[in-house]
Structure 1
Amino acid sequence: MKTQVAIIGAGPSGLLLGQLLHQAGIDTLILERQTPDYVLGRIRAGVLEQGTVDLLREAGVARRMDAEGLVHEGVELLVDGKRVRIDLKALTGGKTVMVYGQTEVTRDLMQAREACGAPIIYSADKVQPHDLQGAQPYITFEKDGQVQRVDCDYIAGCDGFHGVARQSIPQELLTHYEREYPFGWLGLLADTPPLNHELIYAQHERGFALCSQRSLTRSRYYLQVPLGDRVEDWSDERFWNELRKRLPQEVAADLVTGPALEKSIAPLRSYVVEPMQHGKLFLVGDAAHIVPPTGAKGLNLAASDVCYLYRILLRVYREGRVDLLEKYSELALRRVWKGERFSWFMTNLLHDFGEHQDAWAQKMQQADREYFLNSHAGLVNIAENYVGLPYEELD
C-alpha cells in the first residue's frame, strides 16, 4: 500500500487530521489498533474551544454539533462559598465554548471518513514506523495474521500516550516533563438534566467537584477522590450524597439524581515531551502531552496540533514549503505549554491538596483565589484561556 500521509490512531485527532487532508486532496491512510466500537466507547471531555469548533466546521463535520451542541457564554466557579460567574463572551470580545461530547465528535468524524471512502484499517496489530529520517518512511503492521506495509511521505502519530509513535523515537533525543497529582477524578455519567445551564467548578474543603453536561438530558459529574479509591467503593448513592455536600445548599437543592450510565476514576497528571517531531514523524495530541482535565484542554490541544500540522502539510504539498515542517514542534509546543499552564493553574486553584501542600503553598493558593476572582484582569485571564488562545500564523 502507498499513501501520502499515514496516520496512526483513529481517535478524534487522527480522524480530524485525516478529514482535513482528504478535503484538501491529500491521500491519507489511518491505522487503528482497536475496533470502532472500542474507540467510540471512550468517555472523554465535552467542552470545545472556539478554535476547535471552527476547525470542525472547516472539516465539514459540524452539522450535528451545530444542531445539538450547547453554546456556553459563561462558566461558574464556587470558591470559598462564593459563586462567581465568568462571562466568557463579554470578557473575550465575543468568544464562547461549545459543550459537545468527544464521543460525538469521534462519531461524526468516523461517519465522514466512511462516507468519503478514504481508507481506514481497524484492528491493525503490531504497527511499527520505519526509516523516519529517510527519504521514504514506511509502516508495517499485521492484519488477520498477514504482515503488510504502507509506504508514505509522512507519518502522524495520533495514537495516544501508550501508542507506538512516541516510542519509535530514540529515547535519548526526547526530554520528558511530568507532574503527578495526589488525587484522581471520579466521574459519573447519568441521563439526568444538568444541574445548571453552565458548568460549575466547585472548590470545597472536602475536595473539588465539577458539574458538567453532555446535553440537555445527560449530565456528567466529577468528584476529587484519593488515588487509592476504587470505582467499586462508590455506589451511586454515595456519589450523589458526596456531591451534595460539596455544593452550597441552594445549588444542591436543584440536583436531579439517577442511575449511573458509566463511572470511572482517572488519575490527574501533566506531561509533555519535546520535541514533537522526529524526521518524517509528527506527534499529535496525547502522544505528546497530557493535561489534567480541570482546564478542559485535552481534546482542544490535540485539535491545535492537528491545525498546525494540517496547515503545514497543505503548504508542503501545494507550495513545496518543506522548510515549514521543521516549525511544527516549535509552534505546537508553544500552545501546548500555555494549555498545560492553565490546566495546572486551575487544578491548583480549585483542589484540596491536604497533607501534600505545605503552609506556604496553602497561602499562595488562597491569594490566587482572592486575586483572580475579585479582579477584572484576573477574570479576563481565566476567560481568555478557557475559550482558547489564538493559533499562530505559520510565517
Structure 2
Amino acid sequence: MQKHTKENGNVVYGDLSRQVNLKLDFKGKNNIIFFAGGSKNINICFYGNNALAFIGNNTIISGQQTAMSSDSVLFVDDNSSFGGVTIRPFEAKNIIFGRDCMFSWSTVVTSTDHHLIMDCNTNNRVNYSKSVYIGDHVWCGMEATIYKGSFVASGAIIGTKSLATKIFYSNTANAGIPAKEIKNELFWLRDSPFAGQWTKEQTLKHSNIPNDDFKFTYNKAEFLSPKAIEEKLDSLKTAFEKLEFIYDAIYCNKNKNRFAYFKDMPYDIPLPKYENKFKLLKFEEIKPTLTTQSKSVASQPSQPSSLELEIKILKDKLISKEQEIKNMKDKIEKQNANMHNLENNYQKALRAKSHLSYKLGQALIKADKNRYKGGYIKFIFEAMKIKREHKYN
C-alpha cells in the first residue's frame, strides 16, 4: 500500500490511481485519509487538525463536499454508495457507516445542530454534538436526515424525508418526523425495477426471493456496541491511533451480525477481542512532487467551501432569473410593436371606409342588386347625397 506524505503532517494512505474523481483539501495539519481500495467521487476537506477519514473499497460518495473538523472520524466500510449526501462529523465526534449501505439523493448525516442553543436560566448549552453510528446494509431514502445521536442497526430502512434521532432496530422500516418504527421483520435488496426496466414477467419473477443474507440476529459475543466504540475513540489522541483501532476492530471484523441490534438486547457491553493487523501492512513511502499534478492530491486546487458553493448556486439562479426577465421584456416589446402595427392598419381601414370613392362604390353595389326595383334611379339621388356630405365633412 502507498503512503503519500503531504505538507503539515497530513498523510494519504492508498493507491491514488484507483480513486476516480478524487478531490482532497488539507487546510489543517496531522490529518489522515485511508483508502482500503478503489473509490469514486470522494470530495473531502480537512478544515481542522488530527481528523481521520477511512474510505472502504468500492465506495461511491456523491454529493456535497464532506467537511472534516478537528479530531473527528469518518468511517465508510466497503461497497457503500451515496447518491447525493451531506456528511458533517463536527466537534470531535464520529460518523460510522457499515458495509453495503445505500443512501439516496439529498440525504444528510450530521453530528451537530451547527449552531448553539442555550438555556435562558443558566446560560448553559443544551445541544451538544453526538456521534452517529450506522450498521451494515442500511437503506436511507431520499431527503432523509440521520441526526446526531442516532444508531441505525444493520438491515434497517429509513424512509423518504424522515428524521432519524434515536436507535432503530435491525430489519425494520422507519419513517416520519421524527422517524418511528412502522414495520419489522423485513429485509431489502438492491435490485431495482427501474434500472432493470422490468417487464410484467420480471416483476412476477421477483415476487418471492429466497434470501437469508440480510436477515440479522443479535449476538452478544459479536456485537460492536456504539457506546464501546465511542469510549475507545475518545481515549485515543492522534489520528494514527484511531486509524489503527478502526482498521483492526471494525474494518477487519467481517462478522455479519456485528452491528445487528434488537429491542431489549444488551447494549452497553465491551468490544469483542480483535487482532492487531494494521501493523502487518507494508507501506511504500511516496513524497510529494510537482511532476505528478494529475494524480497528486497536494497539486489539486483547493475546493470551495459549502458556503461558497451555496453562494455560487444563488448567483447562477440570479443570472438565470435576470435572463428570464430580459426575455420577457423582449417578448412584451415585440407584442407592443405588433399592436402598434395593428392599430395603424385599423386606422387606414377606417380612413378607406370614409373615402368618397369607397362610399360611391358601396352605393353602386347596392343599386345593382336592386336594379329591377329602380335601383339605378335611386343611385343617382344617393350619389348626390354622398357628394354633399363629403363636401361639408
More strand by share: 1
* Structures share fold, TM-score greater than 0.5: no
TM-score normalised over the length of structure 1 = 0.24
Query: Which protein has the larger Cα radius of gyration, Structure 1 or Structure 2?
Result: 2
TM-score normalised over the length of structure 2 = 0.24
More helix by share: 1
For CA contacts below 8 A with separation 6 or more, give which structure has more relative contact order: 1
